[in-house]
Amino acid sequence: LTTSMNLMSDLPNILTFPLSDMVSIFTISIIFTLIGLKVLLKKSRKKKIVDIYRETM
């Protein structure tokens, strides 16, 4: 709607960067990364290095 109003009134279209969205997505991704690392570390602490290599190969 604002784009069409700007076209009709001949005003420049000012683009704004959604900084709040970027910050929220960034923090959510960091939180999920930390949770995933904790889960993987809990699983790998119980196993030996040889068993981890066998599962990945």
Distances (CA, A) of 8 to 11, 13, 16, 33: 8, 11, 20, 46
Return per-residue pLDDT of the chain as tens, 57 residues.
566 666 667 666 677 788 999 999 999 999 999 999 998 888 778 778 787 778 777
Contact 52, 40 (CB under 8 A): no
Q: Would you list the domain boundaries of the chain?
A: 2-56
Provide the pLDDT for residue 1: 57
Contact 3, 13 (CB under 8 A): yes
Which token pair is 6?
């700007």
Does the global pTM surpass 0.75? no
